[in-house]
Amino acid sequence: MIGDILEGKEKSKLVLIKDTVDQSGKPVLLSLICSLAKRVERVHVICWDRNPGHLQSCIPQQYSSRVVCHDGSRDCLGIHDNESLSVTSDLVSYLTSHPGHHSNPAHHTVAVVIDNLSLSLLHRAAPYTCRILANLRDAKISGADVEQVAALLHADLHDNHSLTLLEHLATTIINVMQPKMDQFLMAANILHKRLSGKVVRITEHFNVDEDYRMCDVTELKSVADIQATSEPPQVDPAANLTFNLTLTDQEKVARSQVKLPYTYDTEKQTETLERSVGEGKIFYQPDEADDFDEEDPDDDLDI
């Protein structure tokens, strides 16, 4: 699943990568940037966490020509320079006015990646950050359609309310976590909302090679799923008994023809009416839906 999402086989407009101090999500982010560089004409990377030189040094040479890094680390809060890239900037307007040194009007699809969305969420309200992502998702940058928006979020820095707002907006949520098997570098719990409306949840282990390609992707099944597939067929407890607990069709017919002494059938009701001329009688004929007890309710009385 994670390989299909990164390669674009599973369409997703907004990808949210969540990590914690226990497991960094940077390898997944770099893998996504390299994958986007294969699929779109240009990848805009908003560098709020570190300077662009650090990120560019991590991107393989064959993908660097399509990646444009925008430096927002020098004044990410916009204190000293209102014109610089900061968490208060209108990213759509900024990217339109700063297309990069290798601008080409023939570009028809672009992608936007934010290396640390936590800075915006810490210094601005959660609805403001959601509006930034929604505007990027639906925008046109220099006339080019935005195919995908991706962001890395340090989930252990934020409250559940803020995380819930962002998760509601995202179409894919990748929760990076430590692997449970030693042969894997990372693991991720993935929630993917397909265009059809179906929601897919899956946990996968994987490795990342030196070119930041996903490999050895293995699905981690839960204990309940493993038990459900390996559970032997149930044995009939009444199979080897010395007596029979069930009735044959002939026995069922015979039981239905038995006349109980305390109920009135048509024959007995007619006989009683003929013998009781001038006396009032009340007869109860149970319906099919009645909860009728076949035992005599007055059996314990001395009558």
> What is the span of the domain harbouring residue 29?
2-229
**Taking all residues of the chain, what is their mean pLDDT, rounded to a whole number?**
80
Confidence class for position 279, pLDDT limits 50, 70, 90: low
* Cα–Cα distance for residue pair 89/139, rounded to 1 Å: 15
Give the total number of structural domains in the chain: 1
Cβ-Cβ contacts under 8 Å for 64 (sequence gap 6 or more): 56
- Condensed to tens digits (0 to 9), the pLDDT of residues 126-173 reads 898 899 899 888 888 877 888 899 999 999 889 999 999 999 999 999
Across 26-30, 56-60, 95-99, 254-258, the highest mean pLDDT is recorded for: 26-30
In a domain, 280, yes or no: no
CATH of the domain at 169: 3.40.50.300
User: How large is the average pLDDT for residues 30-54?
Assistant: 86
Q: Are strands 214-219 and 199-208 parallel, antiparallel or unpaired?
A: antiparallel
Q: Is residue 291 part of a domain?
A: no
Q: Please, which residues have CB within 8 angstroms of residue 112's CB and are 6 or more apart in sequence?
A: 43, 44, 45, 46, 91, 95, 136, 141, 146, 148, 149, 150
In a domain, 51, yes or no: yes
Mean of pLDDT values over 108-123: 88
Residues 193-218, mean pLDDT to the nearest whole number: 86
142 within some domain: yes
Token digits of residue 67: 């990646």
Query: Is residue 223 predicted with pLDDT exceeding 50?
Result: no
